[in-house]
Amino acid sequence: MAEKIPKFRTDKEEAEFWDTHSAVDLLDEILEVEEPIELSDRLRGEIRKKSKKTKISIRVNPEHINLAKILAKSKGIPYQTLVQIWIVEGLKRELKEELK
């Protein structure tokens, strides 16, 4: 039987779940369909390949990391997720400025 998406008590719990699970594997749960969706192994692989994240290593002031951890805790999410959100927001803002 396919895995089910659990009921989450907190945003942090949900963020941790999605950090370790792929939405591709839970399509039947996410989409409201009468018949289950069947994807070929090749297509599943392509989707996973495109959704993978690349690990990077950067030097960051420990004080800034601690501040990010405090802010993330207040939001109920892992601090790495918050930093990823900030990166995406910054990229969008910069691209918007570039395209003016």
Q: Do residues 32 and 16 share a domain?
A: yes
Asked whether residue 34 is assigned to any structural domain, the reply reads yes
Query: Model confidence at 38, in pLDDT bands (50, 70, 90)?
Result: confident
* 57: three-class secondary structure by DSSP: coil
- Domain assignment of residue 15, given as a range: 9-52
Residue-wise pLDDT for 44-93, tens only, equals 888 777 777 788 899 999 999 999 999 999 999 999 989 989 998 999 99
Q: Do residues 39 and 73 share a domain?
A: no
Q: Do residues 43 and 71 share a domain?
A: no
pTM: 0.50
Q: Do residues 61 and 96 share a domain?
A: yes
Give which of 18, 6, 5, 7 is closest to 77, Cα–Cα.
Answer: 18
In the chain, the number of structural domains is: 2
